Chain A
């Protein structure tokens, strides 16, 4: 399988893939951790089921956006059945590009006055 190294080739991302990458921005997480974080990001609007989550992870692993982490966190809370996932540099570039794309779309929508009242925080991009 050829791995595209230009992030733009992988855009646009599907919502689950985008949110999974955002969840992995700061730290490595296991499947359930990703699912919880995605629910938090979207205010419970997007609940990833096991099939969706691992289907996405499979394709993201194949594309080189994420990788399996061999670093185990705190052994006290660790569960050896869980596998942790980490974002690769390519994954970071991809999610930045996607966030920029979305920000551009939001800006375009704002200039056409599609929002009720503008918020300062949203235009910031990445």
Chain B
């Protein structure tokens, strides 16, 4: 049992590590590489010993690091921005060697550098984020601490899009965004409609552009049917906010919501227990912060503990860290999943 847990961990860790490879390479071979890694894990499990695991781990890490560099370089060469890259490289090398030639960097400089990189990374590249509500439950749980990739969905301008891994939001993506009713809060939901989509629901089933969707990622906890929630968009319910009502009056035509340009229609996977676009309207595209990359820590505690900072919560974590941490959710990658179309 601990062996298989270890193996699951290794495989998950590897899945996360795969994201470091260039996108093209990952799309072409990622699945197979994962499969190969799993097979290797199984092979090691057959003759388990600390030595074998260590050897395997070192081999894999070395393999990852060397090929990562190789593939990244290859990818840069392929985008034909070679000149641009070599220019940048020259500048970096000049700056680097200038710093080196005068004197070795001291303790303070070393830490200042680390701090700068850390600040840069946490403000522009990734951001840590904790999920306080169960609206995405079955995919994302209360207490999941996630790293959010801020680059993918942020439009970097015409030249930057060639260098950065930018792509537009697609249907089925899980996104983090500023809650339109209160922009200080960040919500995580799944994108159901992108601009131009026509959407309505029939008995809990989403119909998009006339096609019935089969969404395997959803969870239904309440068998009863509520008109607005499950047959959206009927007349607004009591808990539809003014923004939601505005959407209802402006964008619903012929019993269907038509998503206007620059907006997204999002819903939680926990359909009966999710305050989402049905209730508070559409999300402006600019409000999207990023996409969750992976869960780095998951802690089992009620919503209130994650919404505001409290001493009780700290004590709770300190005393129950090992028992209430959901170890099996660690390094989990919340996946974007396109819905299937019912025949």
Contact = CB atoms under 8 A, between A and B. Distances in A.
Interface in A34-92: 35, 47-55, 57-58, 79, 81-83
A12 interface: no
A38 B81 CA distance: 37
Given A35-B40, A54-B29, A81 B71 contact: no
Nearest to B56: A47
Contacts of B37: 50
Contacts of A81: 31-32, 35
A49 B61 CA distance: 9
Contact of A58 (B14, B25, B66): B25
Nearest to B39: A32
Nearest to A51: B67
B110 interface: no
B63 A52 contact: yes
B35 A51 contact: no
Interface of B is mostly: helix
A54 B32 contact: yes
Contacts of A47: 59
B66 A52 contact: yes
B60 interface: yes
Contact of A52 (B28, B31, B39, B67): B67
A7 interface: no
Contacts of B32: 30-31, 50, 54, 81-83
Contacts of A83: 32
Contacts of A79: 35
A16 B71 CA distance: 16
Contacts of B28: 58
A49 B29 contact: no
A53 B28 CA distance: 13
Contacts of B35: 31-32, 79, 81-82
A49 B70 contact: no
Contacts of A58: 25, 28-29
Contacts of B21: 51
Given A31-B32, A58-B29, A81-B32, A51 B68 contact: yes
Contacts of A49: 59-60, 62-64, 67
B38 to A, nearest CB: 9
A35 B31 contact: no
B284 to A, nearest CB: 39
B63 A50 contact: yes
Given A50-B34, A51-B68, 5 more contacts: A32-B40, A35-B40, A50-B33, A53-B33, A54-B36
Interface of A: 30-32, 35, 47-55, 57-58, 79, 81-83
